[in-house]
């Protein structure tokens, strides 16, 4: 570990779910740039180009996850040190707006997806001297956002899962943390804006609601994930690191 550049991942093997787009892709690229060998599990791995190892898998399907993790470990040379549970989907509306099928779907991807992938990866992570899991949570886990009942509940569960897993695996030398992004400039948010009546006005309003006057970038969230995954964070476990431009911590600006 260098004192001037503490986030080095040379020789480590990493797996990123949802790593073909947005935050996951920025993370996979940064981990690779910092020296890790990186496999990506994604429904559509076409966005994960070399040196990333793209593998098609669906985190809502247990057999697909087990096969995908086994294939990733195989292609990474039989080892795994870092798991980034990042794949997730959104849902808009109040508790009255989403039916049971939508609740089951979002919880299946966002919560069970992380549990399944962790279950498949833990036997490999136990053999690592630098084992780390980082989950992509959200400020929605604790912020009380309007029109995000189902999504917030799913991310609240991700936060609780992170803390419980950190406790369960601390004596095995496996650290478990999460990042809580604010609204991040990714294809996901692009899709939401594209569906608005006036995407440009909606984007300007979204920027104006942020304390910094702009959205968080995917690269900024990736940097936090890379830190938590790295040996530089060897004493950090059971934490949620907010990368939200001050959204949770700061008071609203006076009008």
Catalytic residues: 151
Q: Tell which positions 122-161 bind ligand NAD, by CB under 6 A.
A: 136, 138
114 lies in the site for ligand NAD, by CB under 6 A: no
87 lies in the site for ligand NAD, by CB under 6 A: yes
Q: Tell which positions 25-54 bind ligand NAD, by CB under 6 A.
A: 42-44
246 lies in the site for ligand NAD, by CB under 6 A: no
Phi, psi (5° rounding) for residue 240?
-120, 115
Q: Which residues of 182-192 are buried (b: 16+ CB within 10 A; e: fewer)?
A: bbbbbebbeeb
Q: Which residues contact 230 (CB under 8 A, 6 or more apart)?
A: 6, 7, 8, 9, 34, 132
| Residue from 86, 117, 152, 230 binding ligand NAD (CB under 6 A) | 86
59 lies in the site for ligand NAD, by CB under 6 A: yes
How many residues are present in the chain?
A: 255
Q: Whole-number minimum distance, CB 255 to ligand NAD, in Å?
A: 25
Q: Whole-number minimum distance, CB 199 to ligand NAD, in Å?
A: 16
List contacts with ligand NAD (CB under 6 A).
17-18, 20-24, 42-44, 57-60, 86-89, 109, 136, 138, 181, 183-184, 186-189
């Amino acid at each position: 570990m260098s004192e001037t550049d503490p986030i080095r991942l040379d020789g480590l093997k990493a797996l990123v779910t949802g790593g073909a787009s947005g935050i996951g892709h920025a993370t996979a690229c940064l981990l690779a740039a910092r020296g890790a060998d990186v496999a990506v599990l994604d429904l559509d791995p076409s966005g994960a180009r070399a040196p990333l190892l793209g593998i098609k898998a669906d985190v809502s399907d247990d057999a697909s996850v087990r096969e995908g993790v086994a294939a990733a470990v195989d292609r990474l040379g039989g080892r795994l040190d870092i798991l980034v549970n990042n794949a997730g989907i959104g849902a808009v509306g109040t508790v009255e707006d989403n039916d049971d099928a939508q609740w089951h779907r979002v919880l299946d991807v966002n919560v069970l997806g992380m549990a399944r992938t962790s279950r498949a990866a833990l036997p490999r992570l136990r053999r690592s001297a630098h084992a780390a899991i980082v989950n992509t949570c959200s400020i929605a886990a604790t912020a009380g956002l309007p029109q995000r009942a189902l999504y917030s509940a799913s991310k609240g569960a991700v936060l609780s899962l992170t803390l419980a897993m950190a406790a369960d695996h601390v004596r095995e030398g496996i650290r478990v943390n999460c990042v809580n992004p604010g609204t991040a400039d990714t294809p996901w948010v692009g899709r939401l804006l594209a569906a608005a009546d006036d995407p440009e006005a909606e984007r300007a309003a979204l920027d104006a609601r942020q304390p910094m006057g702009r959205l968080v970038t995917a690269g900024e969230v990736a940097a936090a994930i890379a830190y938590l995954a790295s040996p530089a964070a060897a004493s950090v476990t059971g934490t949620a690191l907010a990368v939200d431009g001050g959204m949770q911590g700061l008071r609203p600006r006076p009008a």
